[in-house]
Amino acid sequence: MTQNDLTRRLFLTLASAGLTLPGTLRAETGWPRQIRHALGTTKLDEPPKRVVSVGYHEQDFLYALGIAPVGVREWFGGHDFATWFWAEETRKTLNATPEVQNGFEVDIEWVYAQQPDLIVASFFNLSPSDYQLLSGIAPVIGPPEGFPVWSAPWQAELRLIAEATGTEAKARTVIAGIEQQISQLAAANPEFAGKTATIGFFTDGQFVGYRSDAGANLLLKQLGMHTPPEFDRLVQPNGQFSVSPERIDLFDIDAVLWLVDPETAARIQDMPVYRQTRLARENRAIWADPELTGALSFMSPLSLRYALDRLVPLLQDAFARPARPGPTAPDAG
């Protein structure tokens, strides 16, 4: 048996197990390839070696696929390498020490300095001008096509990045594992089925709601719950809507997962209009702490497992609470 035969057999064995090797051996066949995404079609001649992420959470997706990016974007949290704790072990395993870009706008000069051969912007609303500028540096992958802005499921995003990096087998394994976990949790908690539940936010004196296919709302749906249909009728092009406290009735449902800080949580609970809701009387609100808020905001293959471990017990507790009059206090978790 020749060395090429041995190499090919090793690659096929690893791919079937969802494993990868460093460098070009991780890539599946079919190069060059055309990658379709929401911003157009990008041609890639060979598997990329220097990947830069300019979106808000793509580092988690790259880590999950066994890829060490050379540059990533800081969203929030202020962690080293813009990597939250749920992804830190994987980052270290990959020996990834990416450069970090801060700020809301994409820093074109910073991207150029990283000498990328692939730029990933699968969770960012790139302007046409920035897309053109970045494409002059290296091939660019935008969000998955066919979804509203900010609303592509994490599975679609992972598949897209995997297609661009030649790690499709790994993506299939990761997706299957998480979807199995979600299905098992839904089956183990039949009390979730049919309940109305959603995520909520509060800013600038307004309650904020999100479309039913927003990341965390879609996760609640997979667990058996559903967001009120009216939310989809109210959302703006950015996937959310804002209402005054007088319309708290929109959130007076079986459970609301509030992604707010403790100070904002206390402010909401002090509102007379909130104290009068069934949500408050039956103590069905869940007040997420910064770690759970971060995990549900990232909605990545690495943050999801942590989020599920935290979220499911909170939902179980919320639906088991006895009704009581008066205001509620924030949950510890």
- pLDDT one-digit tens code per residue, 159-213: 999 999 999 999 999 999 999 999 999 999 999 999 999 999 999 999 999 999 8
DSSP alpha helix (H) spans, 27-153: 58-64, 85-93, 108-113, 128-135
Residue 11 near residue 21, CB atoms below 8 Å: yes
What is the CATH number assigned to the segment(s) 189-320? 3.40.50.1980
Mean pLDDT, range 253-271, rounded to an integer: 96
Q: How far is CA 182 from CA 187, 227, 304, in A?
A: 9, 18, 10
Q: How far apart are CA 145 and CA 123, in angstroms?
A: 12
- At 148, the pLDDT band (50, 70, 90 cuts) reads confident
Residue 210 near residue 198, CB atoms below 8 Å: yes
Do 22-168 and 189-320 fold alike per CATH? yes
Render the burial of 101-127: b for 16+ CB within 10 Å, e for the rest. beeeebeeebbeebebbbbbbbbbebe
In words, the CATH class of domain 22-168 is alpha beta
